Amino acid sequence: MIPMMNAKGPSALGNHSISIGAAGGMVFGVVLGLFFIPVLFIFFQYLQEKVSKIKVVVPTNENHVKEFVHENA
């Protein structure tokens, strides 16, 4: 995308439009994936716990995961 943004010549205007939109979409997708989706997960988990009155236990490290899987296996 970067070379298309810096293109010079007769068809550069079209390349600029396409490359800026594509690069902006990729940046937006990364920001969405890093910040917005985890916040939504926490929010919906909170709502589920509030509605169902059941506490969801999420293991925090590798030792707990092994114990958790072993107990339920």
pLDDT digits (tens, 9 = 90+) for 9-33: 777 777 888 888 888 999 999 999 9
The reported pTM is 0.52
| pLDDT confidence of residue 68 | 44
Give the side-chain half-sphere CA count within 13 A for 27. 8
